[in-house]
Amino acid sequence: MKGEAVTLEQIDKNFAKTAVVRNVSIAVQAGEFLSLLGPSGSGKTTLLMMIAGFETPNRGRISVGARDITFEAPNKRDVGMVFQKYALFPHMTVAQNIAFPLRMRRFGKAEISDRVDAMLATVQLEGFADRLPLQLSGGQQQRVALARALVAEPPVLLMDEPLSALDKKLRETLQIEIKRIQKNLAVTVVYVTHDQEEALTMSDRIAVMADGELMQIGAPTDLYHRPTNAFVAGFIGKMNFLDGEYLGQDGGEAVIRLTETATLKCPVSTVPAAAGQRLTIAIRPEDVAVRQCDGFSPQCVRGRIEAALFVGAAYVILVAIEGHSGKVLEARFAATGGSQPFVPGDTVDVIFEPHALKLFASQQRQAA
Amino acid sequence: MTKPMKIRSLTGRAAAPMPNGLSARQYPLGLSLLLIAPLFLLLGFGFIYPVGRLLGQSFFAPELGLDNYRRLLETSLYLRVLIRTITVAFVVMSASLAIGYPVALAMARLRRDLSSLVMACVLLPLWTSALVRSYAWIVILQRRGLVNDVLSGLGLISEPLKLLYTEGAVILAMTHVLVPFMILPIYGALRAIPPDLVQAARNLGADRVNVFIRILLPLSLPGVFAGCLMTFILALGFYVTPALVGGPSSLLMATLIGQQTTETLDWGFAGALSTVLLLVTLLIVILFRKVLSHSRGISNVA
Ligand SMILES: Nc1ncnc2c1ncn2[C@@H]1O[C@H](COP(=O)(O)OP(=O)(O)OP(=O)(O)O)[C@@H](O)[C@H]1O
Ligand SMILES: [Mg+2]
């Protein structure tokens, strides 16, 4: 088996006149592990259903390799799928479940039994062949579902939140196992998940969806460090958003007024606003430095500690910025021994590292 | 993740005052008995007692002995009626299955509003009494009824066919009355099959025919068995319809028992007939259960 590319071109999908997927184009490379990540209702499952053939798009084209499968019957697509609730056939044993796709393809008896045995070994379920699905734990059922989806060696495998019903420990074990199997078989995977940590650890690339639209697609580090819009910035990891006014350029740096008395400089030349307009400044909690108040320093704003928390590996402090009407700002720094250096009520200086600042147009949609 | 933990801690707290070995999933015995009591009372006074008396009379009336049974076994007419009753019940069951399964399948696959509409059509006949429905068949099948009128109007027959008071009429009318009892359990079983399973089967390469043969049919078997059992047993004891649309040549057990109790007033013989009918019914139930327990996994599904 060799993975094949999956290409979605300008896909639209409406359910009873409401657009659920809007103009989505994604090119999944052969052998790639691509995750679809997005809030509930963003159209991830719908997209998967269109690749699997249970829904047809209102517009656009879907192809696997060079084959156009947009309107192909689901049983002719050769696209494997693992369902969220496993969807094992309750009246068939584990072996019969795994053999099902082979029997549908009229494989010989000997070959079926060889392949089923090999697949049982791959998912580490030797000895479970004659059990019924009901006699298996959730994790074991998920492995059977995976084995069944892969046994006929489809070039593409779709998974819709395959681990969401399992507890955290098991989820992590299976994440590693799925990744290992995917690597070995070189199958192309399109993986839907709610869990961004899961997406970040497993994926070659992540496509972030919101409201049926593709917000950004890229490697996990790209999305984290170089979000192209406020939604992705807020959705992947933690992000502080502050409202500011763009004053103009000064020596290749954007100058932004944050409060009456404080301005920030940011080394970007392309700013998503015209001079005098409002925009959104974004900074990750770990990039915010907080220091005991010592008068003036550049990139610095006066603030008051609202709360100081110890969260294990880090201290988190929430700072209300003086003269700024927005939300409190979250700062986070490694807890290296000692005790929390700040006390609620302290007045502090908040320092914005210039290279950590990102600027977005102020009317952009943000993740909740 | 958090949910199962919460549940565990809740049951953990409740576990303290519970006696050893008792699961929280079961009610205490006393409460269960209290809940079941009305049913048992009804069963006792309304069923066990009168039926027991009737069966008892088969051995005592008119005098102690097995005379009633000897008479039943020695008269070929009565044996023929018994065999005919079983045959008719079987045919009615098969016809109901043949008509009912496709309807149930369509209902389970239809959009919700359409499926409610079909459901209403299936249930509609149940809202009218069996008596009315049987009279309806008389209107349709009699010598100058709808069928004969149409056929002779088309010039297909020169004189009216004898349709009423035949075994065919009995089977037709009984099937009409009993088919909802076949449709409902099959529909229930089909509806309970998660749509995921069908999608999974399609995804794994099954065409529509294979989806039906390998997934829908086996998983709906509990409903099929329930429907068959129900229609068969109801057909065995059916009284009103055969009495109205059947004739002497299509006499069935229930009608025969009716005659003994209302016309000849031979309660002993009526009791003997009832006993035999009851035994046949029990035998069938046991047979059905055997078949059911042999089809592996099915009992786990429903
Ligand atoms: N069969 C359908 N008919 C009508 N609307 C639908 C149908 N299926 C999905 N939708 C709607 O389409 C939108 C996208 O649904 P979809 O299931 O693709 O979201 P999702 O991203 O998979 O969400 P989740 O993370 O909750 O699974 C939702 O608003 C949903 O209500
Ligand atoms: Mg979904």
CATH number of the domain to which A122 belongs: 3.40.50.300
Instruction: Determine which residue's CA is closest to atom 28 belonging to ligand 1.
Output: A41
**Tens of pLDDT along A284-307?**
999 998 887 666 666 788 889 999
* Distance between Cα A43 and ligand 2 center (Å): 7
Is A193 found in the same domain as A342?
no
Q: Which of A14-18, A155-159, B26-30 has the lowest mean pLDDT?
A: B26-30
Query: Residue A171: how many CB atoms within 10 A of its CB?
Result: 19
Is A187 found in the same domain as A307?
no
How much is the average pLDDT of A250-270? 84
Identify whether A275 is part of a domain: yes
Q: What is the 3-state secondary structure (H, E, C) of B220-272?
A: HHHHHHHHHHHHHHHHHCCCHHHHHHCCHHHCCHHHHHHHHHHCCCCHHHHHH
* Ligand 1 pocket check for A71: Cβ under 6 Å: no
- A-chain CB neighbours of B200 within 8 Å are 81, 83, 87-89
> What is the residue-wise DSSP string for B86-139?
HHHHHHHHHHHHHHHHHHHHHHHHS-HHHHHHHHHHHHHHHHS-HHHHHHHHHH
Question: Based on the structure, what is the number of domains in chain A?
Answer: 2
> Residue B142 belongs to what domain range?
66-301
The CA distance from A116 to A92, in Å, is 14
Identify whether B1 is part of a domain: no
Please identify, among A218, A234, A250, the residue that sits at the C-terminal boundary of a domain: A234
Identify whether B271 is part of a domain: yes
Identify whether A327 is part of a domain: yes
Is A258 found in the same domain as A303?
yes
Q: With beta carbons less than 8 A apart as the criterion, state whether B287 and B90 touch.
A: no
* Distance between Cα B153 and ligand 2 center (Å): 61
* Ligand 1 pocket check for A41: Cβ under 6 Å: yes
Residue A161 C-alpha, separation from nearest chain B C-alpha, in angstroms: 14
Alpha-carbon torsion (B230, B232, B233, B238), positive or negative: positive
- A-chain CB neighbours of B300 within 8 Å are 90-91, 132, 134
Tell me the residue length of chain A.
Answer: 368
Identify whether B108 is part of a domain: yes
- B-chain CB neighbours of A56 within 8 Å are none
The CA distance from A342 to A335, in Å, is 12
Please identify, among A234, A255, A289, the residue that sits at the C-terminal boundary of a domain: A234
* Helix or strand run (H / E) with residue A24: strand A18-28
How much is the average pLDDT of A93-121? 96
**Helix intervals (H) in chain A:** 44-52, 94-104, 109-122, 138-150, 168-185, 196-202, 220-225, 230-235
Residues 6+ apart with CB under 8 A from A281: A241, A242, A243, A244, A256, A258, A264, A266, A352, A357, A358, A359
Give pLDDT, residue B1.
Answer: 37
Contact criterion met (CB < 8 Å) for B196 and A83 = yes
Instruction: Determine which residue's CA is closest to atom 2 belonging to ligand 1.
Output: A15
Contact criterion met (CB < 8 Å) for A52 and B199 = yes
How much is the average pLDDT of A56-61? 96
* Ligand 1 pocket check for A43: Cβ under 6 Å: yes
Return the SS3 of B189.
helix
Give pLDDT, residue B9.
Answer: 39
For the record, the structure tokens of A361 come out as 């147009």
Residues 6+ apart with CB under 8 A from A72: A53
Q: Of the bound ligands, which one is closest to the alpha carbon of residue A15? A: 1
pTM: 0.82
The CA distance from B88 to A339, in Å, is 89
Residue A163 C-alpha, separation from nearest chain B C-alpha, in angstroms: 11
Identify whether A136 is part of a domain: yes
Give pLDDT, residue B10.
Answer: 39
Identify whether B29 is part of a domain: no
Is A166 found in the same domain as A49?
yes
**Tens of pLDDT along A68-106?**
999 999 999 999 999 988 999 999 999 999 999 999 999
Identify whether B211 is part of a domain: yes
Identify whether A138 is part of a domain: yes
Average pLDDT, chain A: 90
For A100, the closest chain B residue by CA position comes to: B204
Residues 6+ apart with CB under 8 A from B96: B175, B178, B179, B181, B182, B227, B231
For the record, the structure tokens of A133 come out as 């699905």
The CA distance from A359 to A243, in Å, is 10
- Chain B residues with CB-CB distance to A under 8 A? 1, 4, 194, 196-197, 199-207, 210, 214-215, 218-219, 296-298, 300-301
**Tens of pLDDT along A202-256?**
999 999 999 999 999 999 999 999 999 999 999 998 999 998 899 888 888 888 8
How much is the average pLDDT of A47-63? 96
CATH number at residue B228: 1.10.3720.10
Give pLDDT, residue B265.
Answer: 86
Question: Based on the structure, what is the number of domains in chain B?
Answer: 1
Please identify, among A187, A213, A234, the residue that sits at the C-terminal boundary of a domain: A234
For the record, the structure tokens of B55 come out as 């069966």
The CA distance from A70 to A72, in Å, is 6
For A133, the closest chain B residue by CA position comes to: B297
**Helix intervals (H) in B129-194:** 130-141, 146-153, 167-191
Query: Residue B9: how many CB atoms within 10 A of its CB?
Result: 10
Identify whether A172 is part of a domain: yes
Give pLDDT, residue B131.
Answer: 84
Is A141 found in the same domain as A267?
no
Instruction: Determine which residue's CA is closest to atom 30 belonging to ligand 1.
Output: A41
Give pLDDT, residue B72.
Answer: 86
CA dist list (Å): B206 to A112, A120, A198: 16, 22, 32
Give pLDDT, residue A166.
Answer: 86
* Distance between Cα A134 and ligand 2 center (Å): 24
> What is the residue-wise DSSP string for A277-340?
-EEEEEE-GGGEEEEE--S--TTEEEEEEEEEEE-SSEEEEEEEETT--SPPEEEEEE--SS--
Ligand 1, closest atom to CA A39?
25
Kindly state the greatest CA–CA separation across chain A: 82
Identify whether B259 is part of a domain: yes
Closest CA to A288 of A260, A258, A312: A258
The whole-number mean pLDDT for each consecutive block of 10 residues of chain B, a chain of 302 residues, reads 40 48 74 90 89 87 85 88 94 97 92 87 83 87 88 87 88 92 95 94 96 95 92 91 86 89 87 91 87 57 38
* Ligand 1 pocket check for A54: Cβ under 6 Å: no
